[in-house]
Structure 1
Amino acid sequence: VDAVIITAGQAHFGALKDMTPQDNLISVNSKLLGQVNTVLIGTNYVKDHGSFTLVTGIMMDDPILAGASAALANGGVKAFAKSAALELPRGIRINTVSPNVLEESWENYKDFFIGFNPVSAKKVANAFVKSVKGGQTGQSYEVY
């Protein structure tokens, strides 16, 4: 495998006052650990000098209401990638892409991202290309 891009992972959205530990585990087990475990297992299958690209999101830097659990998972993914970059073997690289809400899905999400400036899917796609084909590791490509 030359490169692995992970954009999957479910996160819990809901008011903090109503969140339960079980709700929060949705974000931790799916969004955070799903990506971390893919790297842990996938390292055995990625070629020398290959790469992993994980996905986070703007909420870790610019919070939204009802997004605390998702922000936690995003921040954890970013911290993991930055630290794992120091230890991945055989020149394997790891980065994250942290997109803002997309122009293409703005109508569906605008009520959650009040005052945000959406970005194009093309701009976000270029960050994934940079992560896979570039030479850097341990970076977070923020497309805000």
Structure 2
Amino acid sequence: MKILVIGATGTIGKAVYESLKKEYTTVYGAHRNSSSYPVDITDKNSIRELLEKLPKLDAIINAAGTASWKPLYDLTEEDYYIGIKSKLMGQVNLVNIAKEYLNDNGSITLTTGILAEHYEPGAVALSLVNGALHSFVNAASNELERNIRLNVVAPGAIAGDFPEDKKFAGYFPIPIDDAIAMYQKSLTENNTGQILKKY
């Protein structure tokens, strides 16, 4: 199985990448500052250039994307567009482009999080894009051809990256291994259109 992990230096992406390398012989790790596989998901050309240099893939996992963290009354239209361009449209464009570079029966796994449905102060803009991505996956998964599957992993805060004794959006953080297990489920099980929650 040939797998691409985008965002392979982040808290979740790095852990997923390192875990998959132990199980599969061909796992590519891409990120914005990579010398081998650079990618900027806010740029459609960058996504396509990355996929052009790789062989046909069996799975793509994205753990990249950002959004503004500000209270509602401080958010400007431009602040919202940071998340819309990066975490939302970056992942939407990835799906639209990646479907051309996947083998039959391939899979795409996106990343959102607990903020799609649980409140955390200062996270309104991120909640907006997470919720939109859930709706996108629910709908788009029905229209992908060649039995390509599309799912999204929605984890809570990650222990170690967030204080273990503090709640985030009403929940205590989860071990990184629990998040990795959700990506493995998306990768190996014959499911599509699923929001795989862990918090």
- TM-score normalised by the shorter chain: which range applies? over 0.9
Deviation string 1:60-85 (CA, Å, 9 cap, x unpaired) is 11110110100011111111111111
SS of equivalent residue, structure 1 residue 71: helix
Among residues 112, 118, 126, which one is paired with 1:56 in the alignment?
112
- 2:121 maps to 65
Distance in 1 between the 2:198 and 2:182 partners?
Answer: 7
Contiguous gaps of at least 5 residues in structure 1: none
The reply on whether 1:128 has 2:183 as its aligned counterpart is yes
The reply on whether 1:87 has 2:135 as its aligned counterpart is no
CA contact (8 A) 2:114 2:154 kept: yes
Q: Which runs of 4+ in 1 moved over 6 A?
A: none
- 1:143 maps to 198
Identity among equivalent pairs (%): 37
Among residues 76, 83, 86, which one is paired with 1:27 in the alignment?
83
Q: Which protein is richer in strand relative to its size?
A: 2
- Aligned residue identity for 2:97: I
- Aligned residue identity for 1:127: M
Aligned residue pairs total 143
Contiguous gaps of at least 5 residues in structure 2: 1-56
Q: Which protein is richer in helix relative to its size?
A: 1
Deviation string 1:22-63 (CA, Å, 9 cap, x unpaired) is 000001000000000000011000110000000010011111
Q: Indicate the RMSD between aligned Cα atoms, in angstroms.
A: 1.6
Distance in 2 between the 1:63 and 1:8 partners?
Answer: 21
CA apart distance, 1:114:
6.5
- 2:152 maps to 96
Distance in 1 between the 2:110 and 2:193 partners?
Answer: 11
CA apart distance, 1:3:
0.3
Distance in 2 between the 1:93 and 1:34 partners?
Answer: 18
Higher relative contact order (CA 8 A, sep 6+): 1
- 2:69 maps to 13
- 1:116 maps to 171
SS of equivalent residue, structure 2 residue 162: helix
